[in-house]
């Protein structure tokens, strides 16, 4: 075991890290032979397993800027090249997990044996097959627990038809299930139904892919809608008695699935029945306010009505209550700006600590749109965020870092961005950034770096961030090229071009135009010009590349001119003429610039190619260029022409 660990440790890049990590692991394994505990240092008793994990953590968490996200490490062939590939591969792994769950659920008989010794129940597949047979309330409870929506409704109807009373608690549990899933099957069961739809015999494949079916799938993926007279409403109406839980469940389900008006009517019924709503129901109603009222002031007034009802019913607000209120104020325009700070003060008065979602809503309110506030509010927010390591308390917590980084970009404040990044790396705060949000966060940060930082700092961040923390977007590459141009570091362009090819951006017309323009704008030392010509050769190959899945990339007049210039400056006369100018300029009906013509004539002079100079003059004359006479005079003066050539 020690040899295996040692060989693994030896693959770590830093020799210092290898030594320290291996030393800790070796001590843990060898000293464990004498007992479960050993002494490390003076008066410090270390548990063997803790030491082992700390040693493993020491060398396994060293940052490797060349590595992709850990989820892609197990298959180098599936290393993503860009953000689109990253998302696709991540979703494919999740799809594989869902497929495995589907197989286990559909064929439980093949997974009923336990070979593990000792058996760890939490690591084994869940038992998803109902064990209670017959029509009884116990069987209904089991199906509700297994989240079998359709089976639960059918069994409930059978009990009602048989005259068997169902307890209020069980009926409320059924309502909970129906309202949570919107009267639809749970995810795994719905996946099975979609599979059956796809395998339906006698249906033409072209009919399956109709826009209607695609539209239906799109609406399902964006969240189910509350259907009129669905099973939840039907069961609620036939309940012999209803308590506050029954009403609250229906209200929350209606809000969750987009029936805000019905939820408000249900709340009025709850008040008429002299029931009291719980804090979660009020949170849902406050979230639904923008759907109930159109005017900003009316929205705020309705939210205050719900808050007053909470006070009258002695319902204590929680963090999610204030977050819901701030989320509503995001859609209240100027009213939101004037009232949001009062909401924060009320939270402080009640000794409720804000979450990341609280700050996300606050930053969105003050830093959204063209009318940006000063950096005072976001600076105060960061003062608090920097001190804490947050835990998830609200689904919107995950949006904070991307929203705050966008505000830093809008304010063009690099110091705030550095503070935000430091806060993100504190404790477990980085866990709030999933794959998509992580890429958006770093993309905005890098764009701000290109805009505000020195080029050496930009290149340092780019080397450490690219492909390990995020995949640059075309805009990031464009920002980097502009930063290189502003700092006069154009010699880095060939390495950026290699990254563009790796990222799959070598067919992006706007990037090709920008990179060619920068390389051809000025004359550089010979070594750099040779590297630029190599890039131009790659770009030429991209334009000539054709495939069944790729549309041909058309030449533009500026791109042709830039490539011709780059070839001419390194003495590649044949490439500059035959590949680009004579053939392509006439084919695409474009006019070369005077600079292109002059540079090519200089190249022909340096390589002593009078024939190419003659062809150039003929081309200028055929295109009717005003410079044709000047080029002819230069050719006669600078070249020794034979009688035939004259």
- Separation CA 6–CA 12 (nearest Å): 10
On whether residue 176 sits in a domain, the answer given is: yes
Check residue 146 and give its pLDDT. Answer: 87
Q: What is the pLDDT of residues 443-455, one digit of tens each?
A: 999 999 999 999 9
Check residue 595 and give its pLDDT. Answer: 72
On whether residue 484 sits in a domain, the answer given is: no
On whether residue 169 sits in a domain, the answer given is: yes
On whether residue 154 sits in a domain, the answer given is: yes
> pLDDT-derived band of residue 221, with 50, 70 and 90 as boundaries?
very low
- Separation CA 160–CA 237 (nearest Å): 13
**Cβ(522)–Cβ(562) below 8 Å:** no
With left for phi above 0 and alpha for psi between -120 and 50, is residue 351 left, alpha or beta?
left
Q: What is the pLDDT of residues 568-595, one digit of tens each?
A: 788 776 665 554 455 566 666 667 676 7
On whether residue 487 sits in a domain, the answer given is: no
On whether residue 34 sits in a domain, the answer given is: no
Residue 293 has pLDDT above 70, yes or no: yes
Domain that holds residue 270: 121-185+225-275
> pLDDT-derived band of residue 38, with 50, 70 and 90 as boundaries?
very low
- Separation CA 98–CA 506 (nearest Å): 35
Which residue intervals of 545-609 are DSSP H helices? 557-569, 573-574, 586-587, 594-606
What pairs with residue 550 in β-bridges? 547
Q: What is the pLDDT of residues 266-276, one digit of tens each?
A: 999 999 999 99
For the chain, what is the domain count?
A: 1
On whether residue 51 sits in a domain, the answer given is: no
pTM score of the predicted model: 0.76
Residue with the larger pLDDT of the pair 225 and 282: 282
On whether residue 423 sits in a domain, the answer given is: no
Instruction: Kindly state the helix (H) or strand (E) to which residue 39 belongs, with its residue range.
Output: strand 37-39
> pLDDT-derived band of residue 562, with 50, 70 and 90 as boundaries?
confident
**Cβ(564)–Cβ(580) below 8 Å:** yes
């Amino acid at each position: 075991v020690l040899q295996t660990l040692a060989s693994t440790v030896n693959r770590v890049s830093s020799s210092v890290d290898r030594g320290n990590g291996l030393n800790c692991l070796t001590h843990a394994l060898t000293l464990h032979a004498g007992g479960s505990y050993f002494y490390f240092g003076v008066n410090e008793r270390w548990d063997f397993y803790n030491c082992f994990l700390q040693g493993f953590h020491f060398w396994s968490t060293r940052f490797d800027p060349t590595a992709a996200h850990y989820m892609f490490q197990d298959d180098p062939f599936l290393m993503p090249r860009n953000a689109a590939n990253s998302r696709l591969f991540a979703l494919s792994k999740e799809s594989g997990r869902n497929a495995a769950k589907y197989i286990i659920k559909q064929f439980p008989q093949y997974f009923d044996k336990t070979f593990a010794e000792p058996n760890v129940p939490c690591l084994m597949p869940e038992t998803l097959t109902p064990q209670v047979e017959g029509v009884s309330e116990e069987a209904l409870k089991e199906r509700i627990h297994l989240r079998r929506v359709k089976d639960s409704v059918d069994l409930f109807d059978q009990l009602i038809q048989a005259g068997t009373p169902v307890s209020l608690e069980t009926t409320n549990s059924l309502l909970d299930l129906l309202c949570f899933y919107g009267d639809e099957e749970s995810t795994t069961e719905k996946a099975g139904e979609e599979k059956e739809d796809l395998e339906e015999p006698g249906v033409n494949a072209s009919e399956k892919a109709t826009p209607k079916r695609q539209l239906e799938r799109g609406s399902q993926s964006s969240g189910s809608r509350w259907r009129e007279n669905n099973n939840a409403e039907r069961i609620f109406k036939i309940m012999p008695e209803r308590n506050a839980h029954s009403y609250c469940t229906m209200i929350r389900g209606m809000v969750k699935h987009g029936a805000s008006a019905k939820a408000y009517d249900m709340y009025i019924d709850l008040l008429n029945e002299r029931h009291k709503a719980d804090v979660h129901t009020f949170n849902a109603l406050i979230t639904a306010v923008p759907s109930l009222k159109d005017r900003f002031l009316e929205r705020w007034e309705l939210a205050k009505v719900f808050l007053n009802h909470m006070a009258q019913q002695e319902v204590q607000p929680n963090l999610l209550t204030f977050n819901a209120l701030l989320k509503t104020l995001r859609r209240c325009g100027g009213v939101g700006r004037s009232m949001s700070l009062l909401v924060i003060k009320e939270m402080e008065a009640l000794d409720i600590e804000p979450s990341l979602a609280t700050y996300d809503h606050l930053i969105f309110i003050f830093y959204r749109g063209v009318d940006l506030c000063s950096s005072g509010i976001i600076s105060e927010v960061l003062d608090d965020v920097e001190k804490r390591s947050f835990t998830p308390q609200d689904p919107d917590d995950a949006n904070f870092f991307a929203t705050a980084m966008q505000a830093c970009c809008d304010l063009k404040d690099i110091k705030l961005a550095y503070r935000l990044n430091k806060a993100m790396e504190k404790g477990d705060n980085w866990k709030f950034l999933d794959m998509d949000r992580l890429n958006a966060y770093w993309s905005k940060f890098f764009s701000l770096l290109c805009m505000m930082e020195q080029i050496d700092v930009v290149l340092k961040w780019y080397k450490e961030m690219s492909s390990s923390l995020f995949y640059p977007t075309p805009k990031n590459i464009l920002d980097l090229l502009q930063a290189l141009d502003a700092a006069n570091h154009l010699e880095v362009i060939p390495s950026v071009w290699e990254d563009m090819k790796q990222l799959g951006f070598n067919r992006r017309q706007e990037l090709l135009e920008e990179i060619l323009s920068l390389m051809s704008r000025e004359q550089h030392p010979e070594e750099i010009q040779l590297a630029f010509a190599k890039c131009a050769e790659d770009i030429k190959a991209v334009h000539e590349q054709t495939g069944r899945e790729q549309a041909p990339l058309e030449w533009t007049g500026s791109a042709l001119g830039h490539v011709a210039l780059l070839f001419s400056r390194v003495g590649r006369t044949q490439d500059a003429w035959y590949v680009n100018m004579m053939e392509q300029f006439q084919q695409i009906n474009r006019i070369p610039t005077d600079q292109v013509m002059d540079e090519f004539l200089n190249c022909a002079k340096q390589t002593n190619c009078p024939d190419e100079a003659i062809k150039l003059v003929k081309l200028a004359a055929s295109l009717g260029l005003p410079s044709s006479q000047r080029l002819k005079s230069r050719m006669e003066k600078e070249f020794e022409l034979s009688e035939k050539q004259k």
